[in-house]
A and B are shown apart, each in its own frame.
Chain A
């Protein structure tokens, strides 16, 4: 008799085959089950890694027909049985009956666990922000390519994106510079997701594996504010409100304006000198692409208001006007962009998910570069081909940050 583990894995392997095969494998027809129920033969084994805050919601994003077989969190020291509750994600990834993994840890772990999960043959839905650094983002893209696994970021702005706009950029008909400026103001929770510079250092709670919590980041003295949502305020784990909120804002913009395979090349920041560990206030950042397309991110929470450029040429009509009459006709004759594939469908069909790692990496470059420029306190130039800051060795140390042993990507 086939075990549940074999069922899950065989189904996954099977799903990479033909549609006819999928039909043949559905042993229990849906129509004999209650509405909305999943036949056991279609069920996937799922794990949630990082069970606080967004954990439940992220797991739900795996879709229907996923049974949670494992829950892993570094705060489960008092209940870990290494059967259903874990503190060490590596033990979860060793399990053969886990097919899909939802990751909702602090973002300092996102890249490492996403990569490890794909190396273990799992498909991944990872909460935003994508990663903690640009270098980590590049490594997730490489893992996605090497292992052919499904990766989807846990935000879906691009799924509601304007396809007509995207079509203009996909068409290749826009010639020369793109005279679009988008001023994205507010919504970054900068003050809310700042870190503490003065704090107490109590004993580590018995239930928490603090070393594992810090993971690839430096092992700091324990501070309650570094755990439980407010981790967002520390460079070790995230990047303040800018890193936390921007993937929501930028995912749609990057999709619509065809920014999924490149990144800004000139970054101009306006912020006070930043703290080495705690994220804090900033004013705005201007991020210009090689083709002139410019995104301005303004906090609206600190300093003088941004007044260098005005928002312009953002609409479909504005951009279509840049095309000759002949090119407008060509554009009209072209098919619309393919509909983006959601995670559940991607797992089933093995088509890349809409918010895959490659696209997510390019979105994350925007907010990482802004944060980098704030931290460095100087304008930066970036080469999207190499994912390197140009002519600034010290800034590059923040692009590719060393990881604390034994963690590697």
Chain B
């Protein structure tokens, strides 16, 4: 147990929730900052203690340690204290493989999204195949960015369902050029959301080799998927044109001009015509 009497006293300096359950009364900036500084001085042990003090969502016992932990994480950023930032994040990353609740693991992912670094990528990546935690882990990895794509790709073969979607979605959000083959394969997935994530990834990396596949993916029946993959075609064409691959871009625009004949898709045809 890393919870000491001194830590409990310092955490108790955090404001209590007011009558409405909010932080709106008696908010003493100086008192909070002083207590947070003292907690931070206790380093790793105090951060472990704070994590042990975390409770169930919304409960009175969770209010102060939940807030205090975030304040300690952010105090490292305010002070530009990289050593403290790394130390705090390392403790939180370690706790992701402990037996704390998934609610609190998700909270730690959120804090790593806020302040984590490449050092914490491996710990977050372990959660990518956990149906309940793949979302917060994926979001943290996208925010951290450095080193995240490799970890996501490594986790992909073992991921199914929601986890697989989160990984392809996150790689697309990172616009990871090294995932070109994954995006292309995703276009043929059984899951519409995975297909759309693949299209998003292709458009963001401006993959000229995927022009034909992207056009095919957008030529589906009218509906959400057609609208979205058409958008990915347009973004891909813009990227290709901007990088000097005008004939590849032109192929997309010509196809959209020739294929969007219905009055309800005239606006797409007009965009394509204007770009040609």
Contacts and interface: CB of A to CB of B under 8 A. Distances in A.
Interface string A201-233: 100000000000000001111010100000001
B48 interface: no
Which DSSP category, helix, strand, loop or mixed, fits chain B's interface?
helix
A402 B267 contact: no
Interface in B42-81: 56-60, 63, 66-67, 70-71, 74-75, 77-78
A121 B267 contact: yes
B263 A197 contact: no
B83 interface: no
Interface in A235-289: 271-273, 275-276, 278, 280-281
B107 to A, nearest CB: 8
Given A218-B139, A376-B74, A276 B111 contact: yes
Contact of A281 (B27, B60, B222, B264): B27
B91 interface: no
Contacts of A376: 74, 77-78
Given A148-B271, A218-B135, A403 B173 contact: yes
A126 to B, nearest CB: 18
Chain A contact patch, size range: 35 or more
B74 A194 contact: no
A25 B135 CA distance: 51
Contacts of A149: 267
Interface in B162-179: 162, 165-166, 169-170, 172-173
A276 B62 CA distance: 13
A273 B33 contact: yes
B130 interface: no
A383 interface: no
Given A148-B271, A194-B23, A273-B74, A405 B138 contact: yes
B36 to A, nearest CB: 7
Contacts of B77: 376-378, 394
Interface residues of B, number: 69
A408 B169 contact: yes
B266 A13 contact: yes
Contacts of A394: 77, 114-115
A9 B231 CA distance: 20
Interface string B69-105: 0110011011000000000000000000000000100
27 contacts: A93-B224, A94-B222, A94-B227, A119-B227, A146-B238, A146-B271, A148-B267, A194-B20, A194-B22, A196-B58, A197-B66, A199-B58, A200-B58, A225-B21, A272-B27, A272-B32, A273-B29, A273-B32, A276-B107, A278-B22, A280-B24, A281-B27, A378-B78, A394-B114, A403-B173, A405-B135, A408-B196
Interface of B: 17, 20-24, 27-29, 32-33, 36, 56-60, 63, 66-67, 70-71, 74-75, 77-78, 103, 106-107, 110-111, 113-115, 135-136, 138-140, 142-143, 162, 165-166, 169-170, 172-173, 193, 196-197, 200, 222-224, 227-228, 230-231, 234, 238, 263-268, 270-271
